[in-house]
Amino acid sequence: MTMTTSPESAPPAVPEPARALFPVTRGRVKGYERAAVDSFLSHARDAFESPGHPSMTSSQIRAAAFPLARRGYEITSVDAALTRIEDAFARRERDAAIARVGTDVWIARTRRDAQTVLDRLQRPSRRRFQRTGPLRYGYRIDEVDFVMNKLARYLETGTGATIEQVRGVAFRMQRGGYREVQVDAVLDAVVEIMLAVE
């Protein structure tokens, strides 16, 4: 005997999962939590499409961080997309600032910001940033100083470093190393200067 089910008693259909925006990790490899990335990108899209009421900036995009999870989005794919989005926001911010204050003022501000960063980078090696305590870890001093020398040359000559290199820089850790927050702030400032003069 065949049994049929009336529409009223049929179980609800399971919705198809939304198509992933990026490749998804497999096995034990973790990636960015998909819901967190989707929510952030939705917010970024809304902010970009409403230029009169910006609720997100290029620096906020650069600082974005997501929890890690299995079956998450591949990190490199998301990071590449965030770089493109940051560039788009930065171009819009630059154009808006130039329209507001004029090209000459914009250039003067960018030069002033570059000089401020350069003054920091021209401090003596091993004394450019505050250090952590002897029992705490910070960025490895010799590696940071090497990168900062390259960035100082870039700010002086406009050559020797690319924005991709600055964005991708990573340091090993050591006890009593440079404080991460200070080093990261300078790297962010250099990225903003590079975006301003692209």
Q: Mind listing the pLDDT tens digit for each residue in 11-47?
A: 444 333 457 789 999 999 999 999 999 999 999 999 9
pLDDT, the chain, mean: 89
Encoded amino acid at 85, one letter: I
Residue 53 CA to residue 149 CA, distance in Å, equals 39
Q: List, for residues 68-83, the tens digit of each pLDDT value.
A: 999 999 999 999 999 9
139: phi then psi, degrees, rounded to nearest 5: -65, 145
The answer for 167, left when phi > 0, alpha when psi is -120 to 50, beta otherwise, is alpha
The DSSP secondary structure of 26-76, one letter per residue, reads -TT-EEE-HHHHHHHHHHHHHHHT-TTS----HHHHHT----EEET-B-HH
DSSP bridge pairs for 24: 73
Out of 33-47, 50-64, 80-94, which region has the weakest mean confidence (pLDDT)?
A: 50-64
Residue 148 CA to residue 183 CA, distance in Å, equals 9
pLDDT at 18: 53
Q: Which residue matches tokens 């009336």?
A: 6
Residue 101 CA to residue 105 CA, distance in Å, equals 6
- Predicted structure pTM score: 0.82
Is residue 180 within 8 A of residue 138, CB to CB? The reply is yes
Residue 123 CA to residue 145 CA, distance in Å, equals 10
pLDDT at 30: 97
Number of CB atoms found within 10 A of residue 191's CB: 18
Total number of residues shown for the chain: 198
DSSP bridge pairs for 173: 139
180: phi then psi, degrees, rounded to nearest 5: -60, -45
